[in-house]
A = this chain, B = another copy of it.
Amino acid sequence: MTVSTNSDRQVQQLQELIQDINSGMLTTVNDDGSLHSCPMYSINEIDAEGRLWFFTSANSHRVSEIEQNQQVNVSFSSCEQQRYVSISGTAQLLKDRQKMAELWKPELETWFSQGLDQPDLALLQVNIKQADYWDSSSSYHPQTIKFS
């Protein structure tokens, strides 16, 4: 099962790159074509299928942008470690209570005070197509991880 092994390695590699960075900047496309970004608390969750998960409010502006255009980028920056990660993919909203309970972390109460009972609570599922990263070893040129 070469494909599976490769995929596992890719997921693990990307997980290690972002694991100590608390927030990512999610960039979405507005209906006039302009690009907007906003901070997202990172639960550092990439599953075996190459999906990155975030909690969001289902009523947020970014969600309406994603409903118009699924293309997103999530960037992670650690200036101290000179590590920068760009994740390109498509995003979709998911209101799966079971999955939310599985992924929930107590720190999220800072943004969602009612926890899992918050009515507009939802998940943002980013299907990763490609990740590029720059760190102190790679200098000016990025390393690329492609996802199938």
Residues of chain A whose beta carbon lies under 8 Å from any beta carbon of chain B: 21-23, 25, 27, 29-30, 33-39, 69, 71-73, 75, 77, 79, 84, 86, 88-89, 111, 129-130, 132, 134, 140, 142
Number of copies: 2
Contact among B22, B34, B35, B140 with A35 in the assembled complex (CB-CB below 8 Å): B35
Beyond the given A22-B79, A27-B73, A111-B140, please list 15 additional residue pairs across the A-B interface where CB-CB is below 8 A: A23-B84, A25-B77, A27-B35, A27-B75, A33-B69, A34-B130, A35-B35, A35-B71, A35-B73, A36-B88, A36-B130, A36-B132, A37-B75, A39-B77, A75-B75
Report the Cα distance A110→B77, complex, angstroms.
Answer: 19
